[in-house]
Structure formats: C-alpha cells, structure tokens
Structure 1
Amino acid sequence: MSTVFNIEDDKKTPKYMQIVRSVTDAIREGKLKKGDPILSINELSDEFILSRDTVQKAYMHLRKQGYLVSVRGKGFFINRTDVATPFRILLLFNKISNYKKQIYNAFVHAMGEQAVIDLKIHHSNVRLFESFVINHQFEYDYYVIMPHFYDQPEIVEAIIKKIPAEKLIILDKDLTNNYSKYAGVYQDFKNDIYQALESGLDLIRKYNRLVLVYPKMVPYPPEIKIGFRFFCSHHQVDYTIIPELEEGMDAEKGTAYIVIEETDLVNLIKNCRSQKLVIGKDIGIISYNETPLKEILLDGITVISTDHVKMGENAARMILDKKREKVKNPFMLIRRNSL
C-alpha cells in the first residue's frame, strides 16, 4: 500500500502536496481503484517520518476533492476513480508569435484532455519570470519553459533551479550542464543555421553576397550570428550583417537576404517590387521560421526553420510517457521559389 507514495526530503514541493500527488498519480495510473484502502494518518506519518498535521492536511485536501472517504473505525479508502485527474501544466514562453503559437497548439492538442494548461509570457524579463515561478511554485505538475533571456544569467539559473528537475521541461534552447537533469526539446542555433545553409549552398552560390538581417530591437539567440559567420567563412561566402531593412531602402541586385523578423521580410519584398527586381533571380530571400503564409507568399518563400509542431508534440510526449531526456528538434532548409 505504501508503494504508491513518493515522498522525498530533497524535493522542493511541500510534503503534503507530495502526498496528494502520490495518490492522484496512483489513481491516474490505475494503481489505486475505488474501495482500495490507503495508509492511516498514523501509519503514513510513522513510515515517512512526517508530522500528523502534514498528513492530515493532505488527506483533508483529498477528501474535499472527492478522492478519499473516511470510514469510522476502519480508515481511509479511495472513494472515486472517475474524478478527472489531468496534469496541471504551466507554460512560460518568452513571447507569442506565429511559430510559438504552432508549438503551443501542437502541445495542447497532443496533451488532449489529460492536461489543464496555463500560458504566461515573460517577455525575456527576468523579474517577471521570477514572479511567475515563485507565485506558482507548488501549483503545477510540470513547468514547460522557454528560457530566452539575454541578461543576468546567474539570476535566471537560480530561478530555474527552484523548480524540481523532474517537473521541468526546457523548450527551444539548451542550457548549461548545471541543468543536466531536466528534460528538453531544443534547437542548436549555431549548428542548425550552419547545416541548413550548407544544404542550400548550390542556391546560395547564385548570388554574390549573403546578408543576415539580425534585429537589434528584438532579442534573438546570438548563436544564430555565430553559426552564420562560421558558414560564410568556411565556404568563402561574402557576407554582411545588418540590423534592419527599412521600407525604401535599396535592395542590392545579386544579393541573398536571410530575414528573421517578418517586418523586415515585408519591407524587403516591397523594396524589390519598387525596384522591379525579380525575387529568386535578382534577389534571393531566406526567411527564418516556417509559417503557413510563407508557403504561399510569392509562390513560396524559402525558409530555414525548426519543426515547431514536432517541438510541441515531443514536449507533450515526454510528460505522457514520463520520459526525462533531451531531444534535438529537427531543423531544415525548405527550398522554394524565393531563392
């Protein structure tokens, strides 16, 4: 009977919540059925060296939720197993964009009715992120985090470490070895862009120069620039990095542009039209991150992109299958007419 309880001293979750979740997890997994007895308050207290108040608090919570019933002189029994016991999951994203929505939708769809999911946006603001973690520290079974922060890495590390490793899933970005116990689905930004561009080298060679439009106002992983420079250096491709493409700015004939922000993509297309430059011949365009619109815009915009749907599905699968591993998400160049 005690095997359903998983109570550890080194967990950051309060003991009473560990008791509650041990019972609800056992119900979810079919280990406890209606009418099954569980340890009495004294028995559980003695076995795990817990205070009676802690066990009593947990059992009161379970009774209010309908999981337990007490029978005078006999003890506590499982009252219902048809009570919904979905996972409680908090998603902490850095921003909402078309491709982040794809991750979110794929994750929600894959979890189905087995999860109650809350989404909060930290905007790469360390203090806002800290408030989300601290204020909701014991409320969720899993915390799925996109850790795109560009300042105060030591503080961010300390905040993330407040979450037990078994409840933590890191999305989109790999972290340092200090977080070796967490599960994650990540992009390798430096090597991803290098390998994707290398797979399209035959198309890139059509152009005299390669320009990366890397925004200053909106933060993106610096590894993108590192991988881009490495590719150009290794393959002797003339290149430039600029912060933006303004409307009315001349597009240079014989140049291929890698564009991250969609505003820059729109301005580049407008500038090509005003200069009567043929996209895919006079000018090459590679856009970062796949969206449905890019598949049809200009008869197809070439993209370099991770598989956002796969990322959401992989994260959900780790929870449903109780896996703790790190998985590199697929990244590719999708050839279309703009290159």
Structure 2
Amino acid sequence: MFEGFLYIDQNSKIPKYQQVVDTIVSDIQVGIVKVGDRIPSINETSEEFFLSRDTVEKAYRILCRRGVIAAVRGKGFYVTSGNAPTGRRVLLVLNKLSDHKKAIYNSFVHNLDSDTSVDLHIHQSDSRILEKIIIENIGKYDHYVIMPHLLEETTQILAAINKIPKDRLLLLNRNLDGIHGTYGCVYEDFENDIYAALYTGIHQIRKYNKLVLVFPSESYYCAGIRRGFTRFCNEETFESEIIECTNDRRVTPGELYIVIEESDLVEVIKKAAAKSLKLGKNIGIIAYNDSPFKEILAGGISVLSTDFFQMGKTMAEMVRTYSREKVKNPFQLIMRNSV
C-alpha cells in the first residue's frame, strides 16, 4: 500500500516531472514509503494531481533508471530500493582543462546544491569524441552541460546534441546554430565582446601605430574574434594585420599584439626583450583570457577576458532552478602594464 503523497507547486521553475521524482524519493528517504510498496499507476497519478500522462511517465522512467522503482508486468510499479539516491546528476563536458576551464568548473561545482553530483568528461575539441560521450550517456543524467568548442561542427554532432531533451540541455561558453527547442546557455558574444572591450581602452591603444591579432586558424577559437577585431580597426582606422603565429614574426616598435595562445604571448615577450623594447612603452601586448600568471608575468599582462567564475556560477544557478534562458556572460578589457 502506498502511503506517500505528492505536492506539485504550479509556480515553481522546477519541471513537474522532477517534482514528482523528488517527492517520491523524499518519501522513501524519510520512511513514509518502503521497499515493496506499490505506488500509484501513471494514470492514477495523472488524474489525481491533474498532471499530463507524459509528465508522470517521464518521472517514472527516471525513477526506474535510478533503480528506485520497477515495473512489474500486469501489476504496476513497486519500490525496489530503500536507499534512493538523493540530488541530481549532471554530466559536464568541457573541451579541455586549462586554467580558466578549471575556474569555470570550480565555480560551477561550488555553487551547486550539496547533493548534486557532477561527472566531468573532456572532448579535446573533437566532435567525434563529444558525439560518443553524448550517445553513451543519453538518459542517464538530469542535466547535460556541454561546452561546444570544436575544431569542426559536423552534422553528426549537431544531431547528437539535438537528441538530448532540451529541458536537460545547457550549453556553456558559446551557443550553437542548429540546436532546436528551448535550452539554456551561458555564452560569450565573441565578435561584439572584443569589439566593445577594445573601445574601453582606446586612449591607451591609440599610442600604437599598428594592431596585430595572432589568431591560429587551426583551433576551436570562434571566428567572431577576428570579425570584432577587424570591425574595431576599420572604424578607428588602425593599420592592422591578422597572423597565424609569432614564430617567424619580427616585432617592431609601435605594434600592439593581441594574442590568443600563451605560446605566442611568451614568444612576443622574448622577442621584445631581445630588442630591448619595453612593454607598455614602445610595444604592447593584450592576451586573451585571464589567468593568475598573466597578472604577474612581465609586470602584468593586459587581458581581454570573460568572467569565468561568473560563468560557472550562472550555470550552477540554471541547474538549481531549471532555468533555460540564454545569458550573455560579462566580458572586459583589464588594463595592466603591457599596454
């Protein structure tokens, strides 16, 4: 006999199917419902609590997958575990573990509810690896948080992401064209971010004759960075150039370098030092994405950077509240001694 009860908050942001799951799990945890008890059928729960059949069916599927209940043919659903798992499960898939990705991860985990578990996977910007991770984990998690920085966006990876129920899907750091339905996203607006941020430092930037963007084309970095840089230079009539790397580059006085990769950052600093060029005086450097070592390297490197801690915090809030908004993350130019 089932002794539990359901409470459905019509005004809650938490989906009704998840409220059904949470209530049954809670009743088991406190002993109101015991192993062997039969729970109401899908139709009974649907009718008694004015829920759609699809909503209840979805909740029961989740409970069956977790091993909390089991369907007995011809008899209904029965509680099978007295140790029902608490909290929600999150699959977090990043492209790599750099310093700023670790900052996102730490902030994300820190701001989740204590009973939420996170499984971390890395896809190395390879669409085939990401596709495999998604396909192998469909239906196993309450939330899928995916950072879709890829060297190639294939039709197969878009199809795989579209298989994730949209009320469980959250994209991190960038949005993707071709994903259907209402899903959540905390994103950078790469083109407009760099364009607007450079304007905040235009007075210091104007002391340089030429702006050079070091942008590796064989990378996952968004092409919007190139477009925003080009727009800014064209509107302010800066002489500009976009190059792949700095290995064969001769640095000269009056140039300001905007570098994406840390290897190019170090290379420009070394070449400037070899010519006795002083950073922030006769040559400038702005790096992309802040990190602790950039605060102290060469007296402080100016950076164009999103707020990684805020990104993780906002994503955690979306998980906690089941929000499925599209939120632009803060981005700024932080001026230090290198400009």
Matches of 1:83 and 1:267, distance apart in 2: 55
Q: Which residue of 1 aligns with 2:68?
A: 62
What per-residue deviation string (whole Å, max 9, x for no partner) do you get for residues 44-99 of structure 1?
36654999xx88x93992169xxxxxxxxxx968996x965122111111222111
Q: Which residue of 2 aligns with 1:259?
A: 259
Q: TM-score, normalised by structure 2?
A: 0.81
Q: Which residue of 2 aligns with 1:285?
A: 285
Matches of 1:148 and 1:137, distance apart in 2: 20
Q: Which residue of 2 aligns with 1:166?
A: 167
Matches of 1:263 and 1:79, distance apart in 2: 53
Q: Is the 8 A contact 2:208 2:256 kept in 1?
A: yes
For structure 1, list consecutive stretches of 5 or more residues without a partner in the other structure: 6-17, 65-74
Alignment of 1:172-251 (within 5 A): 172-176=173-177, 178-246=179-247, 249-251=249-251
Q: Give the direction of change, closer, same or farther, for the CA distance of 1:83–1:102 in structure 2 (3 Å limit).
A: same
Question: Comparing 171-180 with 83-92, which one deviates more in the overlay?
Answer: 171-180
Q: Is the 8 A contact 2:306 2:332 kept in 1?
A: yes
Q: Give the direction of change, closer, same or farther, for the CA distance of 1:39–1:28 in structure 2 (3 Å limit).
A: closer
Q: Give the direction of change, closer, same or farther, for the CA distance of 1:252–1:324 in structure 2 (3 Å limit).
A: same
Alignment of 1:111-190 (within 5 A): 111=112, 113-176=114-177, 178-190=179-191
Q: Give the direction of change, closer, same or farther, for the CA distance of 1:302–1:318 in structure 2 (3 Å limit).
A: same
Deviation at 1:179, TM superposition (A): 3.4
Q: Which residue of 1 aligns with 2:74?
A: none
State the Cα RMSD in Å: 3.4
Q: TM-score, normalised by structure 1?
A: 0.81
Q: Is the 8 A contact 1:103 1:309 kept in 2?
A: yes
What amino acid sits opposite 1:109 in the alignment?
H
Deviation at 1:152, TM superposition (A): 4.2
> Would you say how many aligned residue pairs link Structure 1 and Structure 2?
312
Q: Counterpart of 2:298 in 1: which secondary structure?
A: helix
What amino acid sits opposite 1:258 in the alignment?
I
Matches of 1:223 and 1:108, distance apart in 2: 29
Deviation at 1:325, TM superposition (A): 0.8
Q: Give the direction of change, closer, same or farther, for the CA distance of 1:59–1:283 in structure 2 (3 Å limit).
A: closer
What amino acid sits opposite 1:283 in the alignment?
I
Matches of 1:79 and 1:175, distance apart in 2: 40
Q: Is the 8 A contact 1:187 1:329 kept in 2?
A: yes
For structure 2, list consecutive stretches of 5 or more residues without a partner in the other structure: 10-15, 47-52, 71-76
| Identical residues among aligned pairs (%) | 39
Kindly indicate whether residue 336 of structure 2 is the aligned counterpart of residue 322 of structure 1: no
